[in-house]
């Protein structure tokens, strides 16, 4: 009985925490590299579920000392599902890189990853 309760709780948590539409994730993000020497070139690949509701996609790389953002418009189901955002010359710091999928009713999905840009040897930081 206890094993069934634990299994049921595990399944409920797994299902409750997902943001899925028709068994597809609304927004997937791949960032490369996750650790890099400064000044860093970071590439963010986003994949969005094709939907007539998609209207925009915003990617932000933000540290306590520096921030950079990029936004594109999406034309619903006619937009490409894969979009690449490149951030060049990021200075040293710990960055929260977030991607936000915007729909006709507001934010549809958000995901955040951490990127670490290491100071180069001999730099002031």
What CATH number is attached to the domain comprising 109? 2.60.40.730
Would you say residue 48 lies in a domain?
Answer: yes
Q: Please give the tally of structural domains in the chain.
A: 1
**Per-residue model confidence as pLDDT tens digits over 96-110:** 999 999 999 999 999
Residue (of 87, 82, 55) closest to 70 by Cα position = 87
Per residue, the 3-state secondary structure of the chain, as one string, reads CHHHHHHHHHHHHHHHCCCEECCEECEEEEEECCEEECCEEEEEEEEECCCCCEEEEEEEEECCCCEEEEEEECCHHHCCCEEEEEEEEECCEEEEEEEEEEECCEEEEEEEEEEEEECCCCCCC
Would you say residue 85 lies in a domain?
Answer: yes
Average pLDDT, the chain: 85
Region of poorest pLDDT, from 32-36, 85-89, 119-123: 119-123
* pLDDT in the model for residue 74: 97
Would you say residue 123 lies in a domain?
Answer: no
Provide mean pLDDT across the span 33-38: 97
Would you say residue 16 lies in a domain?
Answer: no
* pLDDT in the model for residue 125: 55
**Structural domain containing residue 50:** 22-118
Would you say residue 110 lies in a domain?
Answer: yes
Rounded distance between C-alpha atoms, residue 34 and residue 25, angstroms: 22
Partners of 38 in beta bridges: none
Q: How confident is the model at residue 81 (pLDDT cuts 50, 70, 90)?
A: very high
């Amino acid at each position: 009985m206890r094993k069934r309760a634990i299994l049921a709780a595990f399944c409920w948590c797994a299902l409750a925490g997902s943001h899925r539409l028709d068994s597809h994730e609304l927004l997937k993000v791949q960032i490369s590299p996750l650790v890099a020497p400064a000044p860093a070139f970071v590439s963010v690949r986003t994949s969005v579920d094709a939907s007539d509701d998609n209207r925009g996609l915003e990617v932000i790389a933000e540290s306590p000392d520096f921030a950079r953002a990029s936004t594109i418009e999406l034309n619903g189901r006619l937009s490409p599902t894969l979009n690449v955002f490149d951030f060049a010359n990021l200075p040293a710091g710990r960055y929260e890189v977030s991607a936000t999928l915007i729909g006709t009713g507001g934010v549809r999905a958000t995901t955040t990853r951490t990127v670490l840009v290491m100071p180069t040897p001999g730099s002031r930081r």
